[in-house]
Amino acid sequence: MSTTELKIPFPSERLDALRFFIEKKEQNVEQELMDYLNKTYERLVPANVREYVESRLEQEPSQEQATEPQQPPAPRERQPRTSRRQREQATAEAPLFQEAQSEAEGPAEEETPGITMSM
């Protein structure tokens, strides 16, 4: 279940006094506020809506348990971005590299209809 933290302004002196007297009752401010919010929720939110919300809250833990055993996918490594100029240079160099590679293998003959060329 996801939770949201509420922050509200409250005078420090009043909070200190509240904490002092609430501790005498062996309680704490946070628990008292939670109880009050729950009572307010039950008083103001219609029963059918509360039922729907509770069913959603019950589904979340079962979905979390179903997904826990699976390992998260390994993060993909991003390739560094290349500029347009770098891409153009790479494509211009590719044919030169192929020509140099084929020359290293030996003289290549290229056939065209009716003409024979050798290098």
Dump pLDDT digits (tens) for 60-115.
766 666 655 555 555 566 666 667 777 777 776 666 555 555 555 555 555 555 66
Q: Quick one: CA torsion of 92, 97, 102, 104, rounded to 10 degrees?
A: 150
Which residues, 6+ apart, have CB-to-CB distance to 107 below 8 Å?
A: 118, 119
Phi-psi region of 74 (alpha: psi -120 to 50; beta: other; left: phi over 0): beta
Q: Is the pLDDT of residue 42 over 60?
A: yes
Phi then psi for residue 53, to 5 deg, are -60, -45
Please give the Cα distance from 36 to 43 (Å, whole number): 10
Q: Look at the pTM and tell me if it is higher than 0.75.
A: no
